[in-house]
Structures are given as structure tokens and as C-alpha cells.
Amino acid sequence: MDLNLTRIDYTQVGLTSPKTMELLPLAGKTQKIAIADNDGVVQCFSMKKGEVITQFKTLPSQKIQRLKLGGVHDAPKSNIFVASASEVRGFSKKGKQFLAFNTNISETIQSMYVEGADLFVCGNYIFNHYKECKDIHNMLCTDKINDVLCLPQTKEAVTTPVIACQDRLLRVIKGSDVLFKVEVPGPPSVLELFDKDGGAERNEVIYGTADGRIGLLELGSSEEVQRWKIENLKRNGGVTCLDMFDITGDGVMDLLVGRDDGLVDIYSFDESAQPFHKYAHTCNESITSIQGGIVGSPGYPEIVCSTYPGIVSGLTTKKLKKHKGPDGLELTNQGRAQLNALSNCFPCCTWLVNHCLSAYFIACFSPPLHVGWVIGLTTEPLTKRGGIATEALDQATKIKMSDLKQELEEIHKNVLQQREKFQNSGLDKCSVSSINNFHMNTRFVLNGDEACYLLSVELQSPIDNILIQSDVVIHMMDVDKNSAVVSFSACQPENGNCLLATYRCQASTTRLDLKIRTVEGQYGTLQVYVTPRTQPRICQVRQFAIKPLSLHLRTHSFDANRPFNSLKLKGQFSLAEAHSWVRSCLPEFPEKPPMGDTVTFHFVSSFQQTMLECSYSKGEVIFRSDNISTISILKDFLTAEATKRKIHLNITYDIDENSATYILNLMHPKLQNQLSLARKVQILEALKELQVHEKDLSFLSEDYKQIIDNADDIKEKFAQQPFLLDRLYDIL
Amino acid sequence: MVTIGKYFGDYPALTCATNGDKVFIHTPHKLSESCRPQSANVGGDVSLLNINQKVSSICAGNLNPSLDYDVLMVGTDTNLIAYDIAQNMDLFYRETPDGANAITFGTLGSFQDQLAIVGGNCSIQGFDCEGNDQFWTVTGDNVRSLALVDFDKDGHKELIVGSEDFDIRVFREDEIIAEMTETETITCLHPIDECKFGYALGNGTIGVYERASRSWRIKSKSHAVSIHSFDLNNDGVPELITGWSNGKIDVRNESSGEVIFRDNFNSSVAGIVQGAYTQPGNDQLICCSVEGEVRGYNSLTPQKGQTLMDINVEQEMIRELTQKKQTLLMELKNYQDNLSQSQKPLTEEFDKPGSLIPVNTQVETELSVQPETQESPAHVLLTISTNNDTIIRAVTIFAEGIFDGESHVIHPNANRLSSSLKMPLILPKDTPVDAHVKVLVGYKNCVHYHVFEINRFVPRFSMYILCSQLPVPEPEGYVKFTINDRVQRVCIWINQNFLLKELLQAGNNLHLSFMSMRNQTPLLFKMDQFKQVIIQTDDLDVAGNIVQSLATYLKIEDLNVAAHFPEELKSLNALIEKVDGLNSMRQTLTAGIADHSNLIRSMVVRAEDTRLIGDIKAMKQGYTELYHLNQDLLRDYNIRCNNHTELVSCLKQVNLVIQKASRLRVGKYKTQVVTACRAAIKNNNISALVKIITTGAS
């Protein structure tokens, strides 16, 4: 069955953080939405005929990072817990605050999970476990914690929390220690229980990564089983939220995915429980939370999502469009009987009969499987196809629109007054003009598959223009999705500009994605000036460091059999200093040095697949890589750093003769592949021309025939890898 | 390039030019023997025509009124072919040495016949069904697009020409009645409704003109390949349909530019046409992509309340309104915060540098002309400064036509920030520029900056500096004419169009000397009490620009001038001689090629003979000779090629001179120059040509 969803916007709240919206359990006909925003407002509302009916709303306070439903074990989770700063508050579904618990942790809470009486709270590096508000376990993690959850308690009553860390590991915790680690393909950003309850064994967890991958893991008592993985082939945005809900109505829970580029994906599962892509919807703003439930109208399941600017909208199975009835259907007595029978079968079926016109007859019904059929049977001429139910809804939207317009006018008047006041105040000499900080959501992440950086900027209000300035050579790549008009300016490197580009956005663009290619060995800063389309015009700058080895990714599997070159630095420096040096060379590096005297990290180049191992301790840093150029970049950078800080370094190298040939061997098939691909594309045109002319292609050689047969395939491959050949040449 | 034509009477056939020098014709309704149309079969009937030259434009139309079907016109770099597909024969074949970049078809002005109008390098020709040259005129640069529109609602169609010098010109027969300057090469033009037409530029802009005023325009990052007008939503008003290089098709309301429908192809769009392709009677919109995908769109059946967009329009509206509300609320919050901030004591300014700047901060801009120095060429300098200790972090100028892209950014080094900034603007052409300047003002090392937006108008003749003290060598060339206006009015015009340090005060007569900053040539502007104006310059182009600008300002309808440009005329003479030389050389080359090909034929026969009788040695020798001859032929061909390109460029130059000479005059005199020059060239009468350029009449 094809899934056909319609988007309805419900309301707008303040900016929202990821995972701050949930649906309360079904009580009555529709579910209520609980949402918390960055202004600190927690609210709970339901929808009735397209209008928001607020259950409760708190006063603004500190930015809320997470919202989670909780409740007594085995009972529906109907209590709302929110985390802001270092405090956790609990509200009942009526809005009564029953808990205000200050965790006293030194960091702001980034993620939180509630399971019965157990509360799990994570800051950037700290993991805390409270039972009935008593601290029972805590742990310091070596890298940033992105999300936390706890496996549902089984009979043995063991609590098994799982944390997702930036260093591409899921850590399964027992007490205050790590039970075991699971490597995942990208930095995990979100965790969710499979089928909402962890599957049959209560130990299945789905994760989403910042580079857009999703996977299912079965966490045993000491090791994990990888069930399936969804690769991010289309290079969509990173996963920000996940949920499981049966939207297709086939009795199997579907996977709902919200991404930071505004994409909502739905995956269904086939007989062998493997996921396949079912449906995609694009919102313009990044999705912060996604939930499945029944909200807008009874009987129609829908997907509710909240976006970064705080828009709450639903994707409903109910059709809002005016539908067409079967043409000129004469409703016979038999048909009437059939309809009566149908209405008896389906309890939630509704009948609407219009008596104004004797022959005008409309029936709407929805089968219990939430499919949401609306059928009109009419003997009326074709021009009068509109159903009553849909017209009523149109009315509601119309009212909503006129209300909005009125509101808008009032605000506009007010603004005009204020604007005048503001401009008059310009005459007053001693007053100052301040800039109100506007919120901006930016991301600058390395995309390993393409070996380029993705920069995304998102605002609450439309963007006017973005100015990109960089003091290193970088290349901007075209992104299909953005519609902004780009213009590059000539720039002089002596003024510290290697790239100056403006992106002028089309009206009502609130989000812009850019792809940037960096060159390893060249480092500096990238500055982004963002001007939104608000009055008075202001602009905000963001800076991003481009590190010398910008295209390296963290990895945990290291191939020790390669020929390695090594670089050893010795001198009078502390572990912290060494850490900060290495950190300034490589991306995805933790902020704080981990515990222990010697620290080892492994990296892989996303472009050349070469490895790098760096281990450092007090007074000594050792790098080992099979790529000689990586070593030389490191050497250049570290010597420059050391000279700046006036530290004497003793540098020794050990170069393996075989490494050069090894690298060349590694590169050779890639290069050959690319070259042959390029050649094939070149002759493809000519061959196509021949194909048009000659009926019989048998005189062509086998090679050529094959090329023609695989034409589409070849073209697609070529289109996927633009510039790759050029870049390979560059590296050589 | 795609067109549609009814080559067999009633049923249309889609015609496309392929990149292998061929024209491809797809006829879905092949006439069966009983002359009854069969239903459309998807396979259709495909035929191919070999042109053997790069096809530069195609068009179909009923050129010969005695035939009741359409004729295909194919333009290549050197000729125009009118081809009767039904009879499979050429109607005519004409050499067009200026090339055929664009073809359109229809009736022009008061001409009786339907004409095939061909735009080439600087010239436009109109051919009738016998291939006779009925119409000829020149334009500013290479023609890229043509359209026939009833521009002034007089019942006659005017020709609209888009050329590479960014100008859209409207010709009422020979006379230019309007000229609109755009910011890029005009790649497409298409009539929409009565006096409206759509246009597309090389930089991704599309828009609609209603007569000489632009209704709207939008810019996209990909560029428009083809535009068309079609009433897709059946509301009685045609929409502008654009096919983009990224495969998008959008349908826009012609009066507002609002998108009402979108579709996507996997590859770039090649062309958009309309025709009753699948079913007789109903016109459809047909879009083709470069990969060969063809999609047809039916227009909506008239029904109330239907929209083309799949998405609920109301929902979209609500979203838009919500966003507006959000923006306004934010602005309100800004003001409120501002008020509360400004009531606090001033000392806070130092706690939070950057987020606060004095309210009375103002940004001033000043334009000045800078002569050429060793480091930089001559430019107009835009100085931007603040009136207090705030610094300028960066300046972005959005102005079209003077930068490579649409904007230019100045972002000084972090340690060299100051409260003023200089920005050189190099103006390549004498066109007025509207610059939108965005200045980021704040303090050092802060993350927030105030954005000051300023619109600055750069006058048309900014690159000419007034040198009142220095004696300027008098140029030889001049134009002389008399106007019926006061000196004061001319002074106002000068103040508006030149960048002067102080405003010019009117006296009884004017004597001004300017120096062009582009090539350091003098320009003298004189006006005496008898209202005689003399513009002295050696550059025909500059003189033309000044005359046109002055005439527009003073609303002069007709103006003839006496022109004297010895240098230009000398080069024109040389050009014409060169053209003659090239022409005769071409003839000898053609003869040579004919000789060679005869020789080759006989030699091939001889070589084959020797092979048959088994005389390997002689055969070898024969083929070696043949090889050498072939080499010769190739060499000759290269010479011919060079000869041709040179000829084309010379002819373009000649056309340009005529166009420039016509620009010295206004109104009917302008047309007169073009027609007279054309006649003189046809008769090869050089002295007459010189006389026309000097006096404006033969």
C-alpha cells in the first residue's frame, strides 16, 4: 500500500532542542502533545478541529535540553520530565509540578532518560544514575555523550544503561563501569528502544548517527549482535530523532526517522525483519523530535514532528485534499445495503447524509486499520464532488488563517510604532544601540564518504545572505538542495582572504547547506557571517577551524600489518600540552585528555583510506602512518607550533621504504577505475549516436556493447564522483 | 534546441537538433494511406536529417503560404536551410556569413509575407519563402535570441532582439523604438501576451517585461535553457514556463512571478514547445530534456477551486504567515530589548563590546574617480566610513554587471580593521549601476555586527574625469548638432550622469574637457549660446552613448548630427578591403578544393587498378600520393576555416561600425543610416558609406 501523508502545521513554540517533544498516552480520542522549548516553556496541548487546546503551559525559565515521559513501572508513562541546566523537573499530565530535583552536576544536562524510579542524566562527559533521586552511580566518560537510554528491566531487575558517545562508541554500563563498548559507523547522535520496548528480549536498541546512518543492535550481557544497518547512500542529513510507530497499519511497527536537513523518513520492515525505505517528506527546517500517534483527528494515525524553529506539525494519513468520487455512480438499493453492512462492520465508521438534494449522498468511513479511506458516492454532477467533512475542515483552516492575518496586522502596527521610536532615539546622543542575540544552529561536520565538510546554517527567521570567508584554500561545492545564488569575489591572499563568497538566499529560506572541500596540510579558520532578514539588520559570525589533517576520521579498527612510517617527538611538555597539539591537528578529538599515562587514538583518512595512529604521553608523542604525506604535514605543523611556544623538540623519523609503494598500490586501482570511467563517459556519447543510426549493433566490439548496455550505470557513477579524478591527481 | 511543426498538414511533429549535427523528427501521427490519423503510438515515427554542420538554431513555420503545411528552417554557422519535409526537398539554401544564432518566424511590422528572421553576429535578416532577403538591420552585438511581439499594441508585430551586449532592443521594422539594458547576455525571449514578453539571462535570471518596464524578475543559481508561455491552469492568462539547466521546470504567474507548478527532469531541459501532440485539438505543453526524455502536460480542465500544487495551499499560506509573525515578533523583541538596554547606564558598553554601538552611528559613502596607477587600473573608488570609533568588519556590494558574480566582498585582515574602508569599482561599460552596499559595523573581536544597508547610484559616465585646469589635446573626431534646449538643462544632465566633485553651475556656454579613465583618451563637451553642441572624441562608441543618453534625457525624438571620425573611417576602409580580399581568397580556395577532389577521384581509381592487377609497388606509390594530397586538402581546409573566422569577425566589425554610426543619431535619422549603409555595402560603394556615416544621409 502506498503511504500518502498530508502535512498540517499545528502551532509554533520557541526554538527546540532535539528530543523535546513527546505524545502522552492515548486517553480519549486523541493524544496530547507535550513539548518544551529553549525559552524554558513546557506545554501540553491537544488538537480539536484544527485548533490548539492548551492543557497547561509553564512560565519561561532556562533552556530545556530534553523532555522525557516517565511513570511507574508497567503503567503508562504519563508524567513529563524535563531537564534544564542541572535541574530535572517533573510534571503530571495535568501540569502539576511534582518534582524539582537539582542534580548538582557541574555541567548542564545534555541528555536524560527516565525508567520507573531510575533517572539517568548525562552532561557532556558525566554520566549519573539516580534512583528515587539518590545518586547511586556515576562515571566520567572520555568523550562527549550524545544520548542515553536504559534497557527495560527484565525479570532479573538489572538496569543496563547505554550511552552514545561522540567517539563512535556505544558504551553499555553496569554500575559505574563500562561493561563493554560497541563500535558504530559514525558518531551516534540518538538512541531509541526497538519497537518502543526493546524487542522480544528487551535488549534491542536502534541508533542514529550524525552522518545519517541507522542501525539495530542486540545488546547481550557481554557483547552485541548487529542486526541490520541502513547506510546513508543519498547523503541525507544526520539523524536527530527516531521513533517506532505503526503508520502503515500493517501491524508491524515502522521506523520513523527525523534528520537535521529536514527530512522525515519512514522505513517499514519486510518478512525477514529487514528495513526498507517507505516514504520521505521534506520539511524546510531540521527536525528535532518525531513521534507517531493520533493527534489531529480521531482514527487517523499520524507522525508528529517538531522542528528547530519550534513548529509542531503532523503528517496525517487523513486526506485533506478534496477528493473525487467515482464518476456518476447511481446508488442502488443494493449499494445502500452494502454501505449499511459496512457501517455495521466498522464501529468507527461515520455516516453523513445530505438531504438537501434528494439524490446527493455521501458516505465516509474509515476501516479500523487506520487506513483512512474517505469515499464519496454521489449521483450529483461531477462539479460537486466535495465531501462535507473536508469542507468543514477547510472552514477551520480559513478561520485559522484569518485569525493569523489579524494577529499579524496588530503586530505589524506595533512594530511600526516601535520602529519609529527606535529611529527617533537615534537623535539622542548618549544612548546606545544593542544587538539582540539571535539563535543560530550551525553544524560543520566531515562527511566521510565524500571526504568533504558539510556546513549547515539554520535560523528561526529567514536568511538574507551568508558571507563565507576563509584564510585557507577551500573549495565550495554545489549542493542541489540549496537555491541560494552564489557569487565569488576576487580576493588577495595578503589580506588574509583565500575565499570570499556570498550566498544570497531566496525568500523564506531558513536553512542553508553548503559543502566544502578542504585540502589536507592547509589549515586556518573559516568564518561565516549570517545576516537574517529581520529589522534592524544584524549579523552573527561563526568561526570554524580547519585542521591540518582535516580529512581524517576516528576509527577503532587499526590495521597493524601495513608498512608504517613513524614520527617521534620528544621534549619538555606535559600530557595536556601534547593533547592540545594533537587536538589542533585532527578532527573528532575529545576536548579533555583521557585518563591514563599514554593515550592512543586511531584515525583513517576518509579519502585515501590510509591509517594514522597517534599515541602520546608526557614528554613524548609518536605518530605512525602508512602515508608519508600525513607524517610530513604533522611534522610541519608541530614544528611550527613548538617554535611558537618556544619549546625545544627532538624529532626523529623512521621511514619505511615500502610505504610509498604501498600507498601507490592503494591508489592505483582507484585511479585506474576513475580513468576508465572517464574514458567510458567520453565515448558513450558517440556510441549513443551510433545506436540511433544503426539498427544492428553487432559490428561493435564486446567492450563497446557492454558500455552501451551499462550506459546509465556508468553515468550515474560518474555523476556521483565529480572532481574525484582531479583530487586524486592533486594528491599524487 | 526543440521546435514543433506541422510538416504534414494537421499533425505536429517534434523536431530536435542533436549534438551530432543532425535533426531528429518524431511524428506520432503518421498519416496512413486512407489519410486518417491513427491514434498516437508511443514508438512513433522517427526520422533523421543529416545537416553535416553544427546546427545553431531551428524553427518551423508555414513560410510558404501556397503550401498548407510547415517548413523546417535550420540555421548553422554559415547558412540557413528551409526544408520541406513532406516533399523531402530544400525550399532554399542561403549563405548567412554572420551565422544564424537564433531564428524566429512570423510577420514583422507591415511586411506582407511571413518571414524567417535570422539573428547572426550583429546583424538580423528576414527571408521570405523564396529565400529573398526582405529585411536587414544591425544591432549592438551577437544576437542570441529573437521574439515577435506586438510591443506597442499597434496591430503590427515588433521584433525583440536580445544580444550579447546585455541589451534588449525592440525594432519596429528598421527602427529601434526601445532599448532595455539587462545585466547579462539575453539567452531567451518569448512572447507571452499582447505586449508582454518573458526573457532569460545567462546568469540565471528570468523575468517578464510589459512593454519597456519590467514586471518582475527572479534569479536562480542554475540558468534557464528555454522559456515558453502556455496557459497551463486554464485561467485564460498564459503562464511563463521556464526550463532550467538542472532539469527543473517551473510555471509562473506572468504578472507576479509566483510559482504555480513545478516538475523535475533528471537532466537539463533542452526545450519547451506546445502542440497537439497526442490528441488532436488539445494543445499540450511539451518539455524535452537533453537525455531525450519528453514529457507532455495537459492544461487543467476548467473547474473551480483546483490548484496545480499537490501541497495544500492553505497550509503553505499558514506556514508563511506564521513565519512572518515570527519575524515581526523578533523585531519587536529587538526594539524592546533595545529600549531597556539604552536606559541602563553607558558604562555597560565597555563590558560588552560589540553587541552595543552608539545609536547615532552612521555610515557614509563617497564616490570618487581614481586615475590609473602602477598597482591598479583606473577605477571609481567607493569610500565607506563610520562617524565614530566603530569599525567596519566587512563590506558586501551587490551590483550586477560590474563584478564576475553578482557581488563583491571586502574583508580586511583582522589586525587592519578601521572605521573606514575603500573599495575600487571598475566599470567596464558606460551603464549606470545601482549598488546595494551592506556594511557590517561593530567592534573588534565581537561576534555580532550591525548591518547598515545603503543603496548607491553610480552614474553612467563615471569613468570620465573632469580636467578643467590641464590642457587636453583636442581629438580629431567630433559630432556636431543643435538642440532646442537651455544650457541649464544640459548642465543638470551632466550633473546626473558624470561623477563631478562639485555640481556644475550653468553659464551661457559650456566648455568641458573630460579624460576617459579607461584608455586615457580625451572627451570634450562644448555647447555655445547658439545651442550648438560639439562632442569631441575619437571613439565613435562613446559619442554614440553620449548622444543617446542626452537625447533620452532631453526627450529629443529626431536628431541628425554631423559626424567626423577620420580614424574610424580609415579602419572601416581597411576592413572593407580586407573583406574583399578574404572573399576573393575564399573563391580561389574553393576552386582549389574542387580541383583536388577531382584529382583524388582519379587517383583512387588508378590506385585500385594497380591493386587489381597486382602491381604492389605502383599501388604503394599511388596511395602515398593520395595520402599527400589528402594532407594538402586538410591543410587547405584549415586555411579555409581560418579565412572564414576572419571573414566573420571582419563582417561583425563592419556591422558594428554601422550600428555605432546609427547610434549617433536619434529617431528616423537612425533608421535612415542603417538602411543607407546597407544599400551602400550591397553596391560596394565605399565613398557613399563614408558620406552616410559623416552626414547621416547618402
Other C-beta atoms closer than 10 Å to the C-beta of A227 total 17
pLDDT of A708:
64
Q: Which CATH architecture has domain B464-556?
A: 2-Layer Sandwich (3.30)
pLDDT of A2:
64
User: Shortest CB distance from A432 goes to which of B319, B333, B342?
Assistant: B342
- Best residue in A38, A282, A432 to probe B by mutation, most B CBs within 10 Å? A432
pLDDT at B33 over 50: no
Q: Which residues pair with B298 in a beta bridge?
A: B284
Mean pLDDT is lowest, of A384-388, B394-398, B447-451, for A384-388
Interchain contact, B409 vs A489, CB within 8 Å: yes
Q: Are A374 and A323 in contact (CB under 8 A)?
A: yes
Q: Tell me how close the Cα of B620 comes to any Cα of chain A, in angstroms.
A: 29
Spatial distance between the Cα atoms of A185 and A113, rounded to a whole number of angstroms: 24
Residues of chain A contacting residue B328, judged by C-beta atoms under 8 Å apart: 408, 411-412, 415
Q: Please compute, for residue A700, the number of CA atoms within 13 A of its CA located in the half-sphere on the CB side.
A: 19
Which chain B residue's Cα is nearest to A690?
Answer: B20
| B309 Cβ under 8 Å from any chain A Cβ | no
Other C-beta atoms closer than 10 Å to the C-beta of B274 total 22
pLDDT at B17 over 50: yes
Spatial distance between the Cα atoms of A134 and A111, rounded to a whole number of angstroms: 18
Three cell numbers at A31? 493524544
Interchain contact, A421 vs B317, CB within 8 Å: no
3-class secondary-structure state, position A195: helix
Q: Are A378 and A335 in contact (CB under 8 A)?
A: no
pLDDT at B355 over 70: no
Query: Cell numbers 502542440 correspond to what residue?
Result: B275
pLDDT of A591:
75
pLDDT of B87:
77
User: Shortest CB distance from B332 goes to which of A398, A414, A431?
Assistant: A414
pLDDT at B498 over 60: yes
Output the CA angle B374-B375-B376, nearest 5 degrees.
Answer: 100
Spatial distance between the Cα atoms of B120 and B124, rounded to a whole number of angstroms: 6
User: Shortest CB distance from A426 goes to which of B317, B324, B360?
Assistant: B360
pLDDT at A720 over 60: no
A264's CB contacts (< 8 A; 6+ apart) are: A256, A257, A258, A280, A281, A282, A283, A287, A290, A303, A305, A315
User: Shortest CB distance from A401 goes to which of B311, B314, B409?
Assistant: B314
Spatial distance between the Cα atoms of B137 and B122, rounded to a whole number of angstroms: 9
pLDDT of A490:
77
Three-state SS string over B465-478 comes to EECCCCCCCCCCCE
| B216 Cβ under 8 Å from any chain A Cβ | no
Residues of chain B contacting residue A434, judged by C-beta atoms under 8 Å apart: 337-338, 341-342, 355-356
| B217 Cβ under 8 Å from any chain A Cβ | no
Interchain contact, A433 vs B358, CB within 8 Å: yes
Q: What is the CA radius of gyration of chain A?
A: 30
Spatial distance between the Cα atoms of A456 and A444, rounded to a whole number of angstroms: 7
Exposed, middle or buried, A566 (CB in 10 Å: 0-12/13-18/19+)?
middle
With the CA atoms of A250, A255, A261 and A263 taken in that order, what torsion angle do they form, in degrees rounded to the nearest 10? 0
Interchain contact, B438 vs A465, CB within 8 Å: yes
Three cell numbers at B254? 506572468
Q: Tell me how close the Cα of A407 comes to any Cα of chain B, in angstroms.
A: 8
3-class secondary-structure state, position B386: strand
| B303 Cβ under 8 Å from any chain A Cβ | yes
| B30 Cβ under 8 Å from any chain A Cβ | no
User: Shortest CB distance from B448 goes to which of A394, A435, A533?
Assistant: A435
Spatial distance between the Cα atoms of A284 and A481, rounded to a whole number of angstroms: 10
Q: Are B136 and B126 in contact (CB under 8 A)?
A: yes
Spatial distance between the Cα atoms of A79 and A93, rounded to a whole number of angstroms: 6
Q: Tell me how close the Cα of B528 comes to any Cα of chain A, in angstroms.
A: 46
pLDDT of B40:
38
Sorted by where each begins, the domain ranges of chain B are 186-299, 305-330, 363-458, 464-556, 566-695
Spatial distance between the Cα atoms of A314 and A247, rounded to a whole number of angstroms: 12
pLDDT of A711:
64
Spatial distance between the Cα atoms of B657 and B573, rounded to a whole number of angstroms: 11
| B634 Cβ under 8 Å from any chain A Cβ | no
Q: Are B99 and B123 in contact (CB under 8 A)?
A: no
Interchain contact, B330 vs A496, CB within 8 Å: no
How confident is the prediction for chain A on average, in pLDDT?
Answer: 76
With a CB-CB cutoff of 8 Å, which residues 357-376 of chain B face chain A?
357-361
pLDDT of B447:
77
Spatial distance between the Cα atoms of A206 and A253, rounded to a whole number of angstroms: 13
pLDDT of A413:
77
**What pLDDT digit, counting tens, does each position of A648-703 carry?**
778 887 777 777 777 777 777 777 777 777 777 777 767 766 666 665 656 666 66
Spatial distance between the Cα atoms of A487 and A461, rounded to a whole number of angstroms: 23
Which chain B residue's Cα is nearest to A541?
Answer: B447
Q: Tell me how close the Cα of B411 comes to any Cα of chain A, in angstroms.
A: 7
Catalogue the E-assigned strands of A639-719.
649-654
Three cell numbers at A262? 529536514
Exposed, middle or buried, A590 (CB in 10 Å: 0-12/13-18/19+)?
buried
Interchain contact, A541 vs B452, CB within 8 Å: no
Question: Distance of CA B413 to CAs A223, A493, A500, Å?
Answer: 54, 10, 13
Q: Are A204 and A218 in contact (CB under 8 A)?
A: yes
| B405 Cβ under 8 Å from any chain A Cβ | yes
Q: Which amino acid is residue A723, in one-letter code?
A: F
Q: Tell me how close the Cα of B205 comes to any Cα of chain A, in angstroms.
A: 10
- Best residue in A485, A504, A714 to probe B by mutation, most B CBs within 10 Å? A485
pLDDT of B507:
72
Q: Tell me how close the Cα of A589 comes to any Cα of chain B, in angstroms.
A: 25
What's the CATH code, domain B186-299? 2.130.10.10
Q: Tell me how close the Cα of B432 comes to any Cα of chain A, in angstroms.
A: 21
Three cell numbers at B571? 579602419
Q: Tell me how close the Cα of B570 comes to any Cα of chain A, in angstroms.
A: 40
Q: Are A192 and A168 in contact (CB under 8 A)?
A: no
Average pLDDT over residues A333-358: 41
Interchain contact, B331 vs A504, CB within 8 Å: no
Q: Where are the alpha helices (DSSP H) in B555-664?
A: 566-613, 616-663
**What pLDDT digit, counting tens, does each position of B44-55 carry?**
567 777 777 778
| B404 Cβ under 8 Å from any chain A Cβ | yes
| B350 Cβ under 8 Å from any chain A Cβ | no
Residues of chain A contacting residue B317, judged by C-beta atoms under 8 Å apart: 401
Which chain A residue's Cα is nearest to B324?
Answer: A408
Residues of chain A contacting residue B321, judged by C-beta atoms under 8 Å apart: 401, 404-405, 408
Residues of chain A contacting residue B318, judged by C-beta atoms under 8 Å apart: 9, 397, 400-401, 404
Q: Report helix angle B616-663 to B686-695, nearest 10.
A: 30
Residues of chain B contacting residue A683, judged by C-beta atoms under 8 Å apart: none
Spatial distance between the Cα atoms of B181 and B162, rounded to a whole number of angstroms: 10
Concatenated DSSP letters for B125-137?
A: EEE-TT--EEEEE
Q: Which amino acid is residue B55, in one-letter code?
A: V
Spatial distance between the Cα atoms of B657 and B650, rounded to a whole number of angstroms: 11
* pLDDT-based confidence at residue A508 (cuts at 50, 70, 90): confident
pLDDT of A721:
54
Q: Are A444 and A421 in contact (CB under 8 A)?
A: no
How confident is the prediction for chain B on average, in pLDDT?
Answer: 78
pLDDT at B307 over 80: no
Mean pLDDT is lowest, of A575-589, B29-43, B659-673, for B29-43
Residues of chain B contacting residue A394, judged by C-beta atoms under 8 Å apart: 314
Q: Which amino acid is residue A211, in one-letter code?
A: D
Which chain B residue's Cα is nearest to A535?
Answer: B331
**What pLDDT digit, counting tens, does each position of A383-430 carry?**
333 333 344 445 666 677 777 777 778 777 777 777 776 666 554 444
**CATH level 3 topology of A552-655:** TATA-Binding Protein (3.30.310)
| B440 Cβ under 8 Å from any chain A Cβ | yes
Q: Are strands A485-488 and A552-555 parallel, antiparallel or unpaired?
A: unpaired
Size of interface A-B (CB pairs under 8 A): 228
- Phi, psi at residue B405, to the nearest 5°? -100, -150
Concatenated DSSP letters for B496-546?
A: HHB--SSPPPP-SSEEEEEEETTT--EEEEEE-TT-EEEEE-S-HHHHHHH
Residues of chain A contacting residue B336, judged by C-beta atoms under 8 Å apart: 418
pLDDT of A381:
32
What's the CATH code, domain A440-546? 2.60.40
Q: Please compute, for residue A308, the number of CA atoms within 13 A of its CA located in the half-sphere on the CB side.
A: 22
Spatial distance between the Cα atoms of A664 and B298, rounded to a whole number of angstroms: 57
The more confidently predicted of residues B369 and B348 is: B369
The more confidently predicted of residues B301 and B15 is: B15
Q: Are A567 and A631 in contact (CB under 8 A)?
A: yes
What's the CATH code, domain B363-458? 2.60.40
With a CB-CB cutoff of 8 Å, which residues 37-96 of chain B face chain A?
48
Q: Are B170 and B211 in contact (CB under 8 A)?
A: no
* pLDDT-based confidence at residue A346 (cuts at 50, 70, 90): very low
